[in-house]
Amino acid sequence: MQATDTAQNLTENSPFDFACKDDLPCFTQCCKDVNIYLTPYDVLRLRQTLGISSSGFLEKYARSFLSKVGNIPVVQLLMDPQTLYCPFVSEEGCQVYEDRPWACRMFPLDLASTTEAKFRIIAGKERCKGLFERSKGTVKDWLQSQGVLEYSQMDREFQSVVPDSFKPGAPMNEGLGRVLFMAYDLDRFAELLEDSRFLNFHEIDDETLSLAGKDMKELLRLAFRYIRSQLDELYQLV
């Protein structure tokens, strides 16, 4: 594989040579002045490792808005205004490495928009010297080593929240877009679960509630279920 060919389309079984090491001259440069868009699971993992509330994380570390094109919720990680670096990186590297976002785990790969392949390289040799490292692995090996699969699964579950009647690329009603934001601000959803009337109305049984109380990932899945039910109902009215 040519490390300089950033347009190359790859499959899971494509050879992929890459390694990130602290002795490379570009170490942490990929963490500077970049657009990192967060998934609900990204936010969950980050706020947990930081020990703060979901609203606290969104207020301090993210920019949240509805996209102008389709009113789809967008949560973007804020860079440090002085250095333009990610707020969680230091000279030693990522300080939230075990809970880093999906986009960081994927780098230097991203999803491809072609039907021939699933992935593409988004970095060039002028910036990413790790592409010259020889790891003798495949794209699949890389994804597994970076823990991408769990993040991708949770993102697929989030994508399934949108009703089947919603056509990709079509504008979403602004009110519906705001309902989707609850997946990012999970504490707001957790507050609803304290109301017995809410639990009864949405038929949330004790076992489901107990599981969500013990596992934040299950709480997020329950939020997905609730949001989907709301969007299904609201889509019949718009």
pLDDT value, residue 125: 81
Report the share of the chain in percent with pLDDT over 90: 69
Q: Which residue has the higher pLDDT, 227 or 5?
A: 227
| Residue 3 scores a pLDDT above 50 | no
Domain-by-domain residue ranges, the chain?
A: 9-155, 167-235
Residue 55 in contact with residue 156, Cβ under 8 Å? no
Q: Could you give the 3-state DSSP secondary structure of residue 6?
A: coil
pLDDT band at 165, cuts 50/70/90? low
pLDDT value, residue 237: 47
Q: Could you give the 3-state DSSP secondary structure of residue 220?
A: helix
pLDDT value, residue 184: 96
| Residue 9 scores a pLDDT above 60 | yes
Q: Which residue has the higher pLDDT, 168 or 192?
A: 192
Report the share of the chain in percent with pLDDT over 70: 88
Identify whether 108 is preceded by a cis peptide bond (ω within 30 of 0): yes
pLDDT value, residue 177: 75
Q: Could you give the 3-state DSSP secondary structure of residue 206?
A: helix
| Residue 202 scores a pLDDT above 80 | yes
Q: d(Cα 58, Cα 160) in Å, to the nearest integer? A: 23
| Residue 6 scores a pLDDT above 50 | no
| Average pLDDT, integer, range 170-189 | 82
Identify whether 171 is preceded by a cis peptide bond (ω within 30 of 0): no
Q: What is the pLDDT of residues 205-215, one digit of tens each?
A: 999 999 999 99
Dihedral sign for Cα 154, 157, 162, 168, please: positive
| Residue 2 scores a pLDDT above 70 | no
Q: d(Cα 54, Cα 204) in Å, to the nearest integer? A: 22
Residue 127 in contact with residue 11, Cβ under 8 Å? no
Q: d(Cα 74, Cα 64) in Å, to the nearest integer? A: 6
Q: What is the pLDDT of residues 51-94, one digit of tens each?
A: 999 999 999 999 998 887 777 789 999 999 999 999 999 999 99
| Residue 39 scores a pLDDT above 80 | yes
Residue 223 in contact with residue 189, Cβ under 8 Å? yes
Hey, what amino acid is at 236? Q
pTM here is: 0.89
For residue 71, the 8-state DSSP code is -
pLDDT value, residue 5: 44
Q: Which residue has the higher pLDDT, 46 or 162?
A: 46
Average pLDDT, the chain: 88
pLDDT value, residue 103: 97
